[in-house]
Copies of this chain bind each other. A is one copy, B any other.
Amino acid sequence: MEVYEAIRTRRTVRQYKPDAVPESVIMKILRAGRWSPSSSNSQPWNFVVVTDPATIARLAEVATQGPFIADAPLVIAIVMVPDAPRPQLDAGRALQQMELVAWDEGLGTCFVGVRVEEQQVGVKEILGIPDDYHLITLMPYGYRTGQPSGRASVPRKPMSEIAHRNHFGTPYETA
């Protein structure tokens, strides 16, 4: 899929087929994360690839924001090293590349934040993540149950509201 088309058609997906994701596809997703740029080339990411059904079930119980995790055959936890200069931003860059490659492979995902302190503690305990690492998200992945509609993404704010020309407050409009 062309990059612009992947970006245009991508949707957040919370329902997954039970089919396992092949190792070769998992590796493509991991490479897409590893190839992302990072602040001062710090490469601060760690990816915990979870395919064990019992572990996924436990994660779904703790991460109550994302109960659909329970139905995913694959969960990847994005974890940043303790001294990462921009853990949130660099995580965003990596996981977006991962999501786009996954989309191209027929998979969907949905960001699950696990921001609540007790969820952080619970997920770290289940996955053995050291306390001082930044747990950013659990990303469940699975094959999509429906066909992409081919329409552009769900409604967005109008471009005139979010894009400015040369100075904030001057709407960007094409000539």
Contact = CB atoms under 8 A, between A and B. Distances in A.
A79 B168 contact: yes
Contact of A47 (B27, B162, B169): B162
Interface in A1-18: 1-4, 6-8, 10, 12
Interface string A34-61: 1111010101011111111001000000
Given A91-B89, A96-B93, A157 B43 contact: yes
Contact of A88 (B4, B92, B167): B92
Nearest to A105: B4
Q: Give the interface SS of chain A, mostly helix, strand, loop or mixed.
A: mixed
A174 to B, nearest CB: 5
Contact of A174 (B4, B23, B45, B99): B23
A64 interface: no
A71 interface: no
Is the interface on chain A under 10, 10 to 19, 20 to 34, or 35 or more residues?
35 or more
Contacts of A43: 156-157, 162
A32 B7 contact: yes
Given A10-B35, A86-B88, A127-B166, 6 more contacts: A2-B104, A10-B37, A27-B159, A39-B113, A127-B168, A128-B169
Interface of A: 1-4, 6-8, 10, 12, 23-24, 27-28, 30-32, 34-37, 39, 41, 43, 45-52, 55, 79, 86, 88-93, 95-97, 99-101, 103-104, 111, 113, 127-130, 133, 136, 152-154, 156-157, 159, 162-169, 172, 174-175
